[in-house]
Amino acid sequence: MIRLVCLAAGLVALGGCGLIDSPISDIDLDLPEREVTIDTADWELTDEGHVPSVGCSDTPNVCTNRVEMWCGADEICAARCGGETCEVNVSVALYHTVDLTQENSDLERIPGVSLVSVTVDRVTFSVRENTLNREMPPLTVAVAPQGVMSIHDGEAEEVGTIPAIPAGTTVAEAELKLSANGQTVLAERMRDYKTPFNLLVGASIALRAGEEVPSGRLVAVVKVEAHASTGL
């Protein structure tokens, strides 16, 4: 489970001649870096060196019946006939609930005040640890109403993508590949700061017959730089 998204903001009120604070107008809404950990040990995969080859062209249902042989975490695994042989799809579905009113003390200083605008300036990621023995496919980053825990839910809105990461590769820092309206989607969720929402990270990983069984883990970090205006 990711423990992602604890927002911190710096708010400075400048004193006037009579030590009276000036109106609050701008707020920094930077997302401190938070880790996303994907560990293949959680998938409880077979300890065989390679994904077994099971023919399915004549009996497609054999894949569903035998999925537990390959993946013990049946709640995240699904098998299907991928042509001549079975393949298993592992679903990566990580989320964290964001409640800005609880996580940003500066917002408590403007109770009841709406944010006129939120601008997402930059979204970056880094990969600090990668012991995976295979490429990690692109990871989708999305936002959704509280209670939605998968990027495949119809209410999830995509923000962007962490590109595929080759086996064993780390990344110092790189820009998240934002979707066409990714900045707007994220900014709107943050602007409605009184309503908690979920930040989601997910992917679907296909394991095909004969491929090396995945092992190791990947630790990535996501960071958002943003600012807001209260209009005061």
**140-180 pLDDT per residue, tens:** 999 999 999 999 999 999 999 999 999 999 999 999 999 99
Indicate the pTM of the whole model.
0.83
**Minimum mean pLDDT range among 61-75, 134-148, 181-195:** 61-75
Among 6-20, 67-81, 107-121, 208-222, name the most confident range: 208-222
Query: Does residue 33 register a pLDDT over 70?
Result: yes
Torsion region of 210: left, alpha or beta (phi above 0 gives left; psi -120 to 50 gives alpha): left
Indicate the pLDDT class of residue 12, thresholds 50, 70 and 90. Answer: very low
d(CA 201, CA 4): 10
From the list 169, 60, 89, 180, the residue with the least C-alpha distance to 125 is: 169
**Minimum mean pLDDT range among 30-34, 96-100, 131-135:** 30-34
Q: So what's the pLDDT on residue 9?
A: 33
Task: Name every residue whose Cβ is closer than 8 Å to that of residue 31 and which is 6 or more positions away in sequence.
Answer: 5, 6, 7, 222, 223, 224, 225, 226
Share of the chain above pLDDT 70, in %: 84
Q: Where are the domains of the chain?
A: 33-103+121-226
Among 17-21, 28-32, 89-93, 100-104, name the most confident range: 89-93
Q: So what's the pLDDT on residue 80?
A: 92
What does the pLDDT average to over 111-116?
A: 76
Indicate the pLDDT class of residue 21, thresholds 50, 70 and 90. Answer: very low
Token output for 135: 């490429």
Indicate the pLDDT class of residue 231, thresholds 50, 70 and 90. Answer: low
Indicate the pLDDT class of residue 111, thresholds 50, 70 and 90. Answer: low
Q: Rounded mean pLDDT of the chain?
A: 84
**Minimum mean pLDDT range among 10-24, 71-85, 145-159:** 10-24
Share of the chain above pLDDT 90, in %: 53
Contact 98, 81 (CB under 8 A): no
Token output for 153: 């839910």
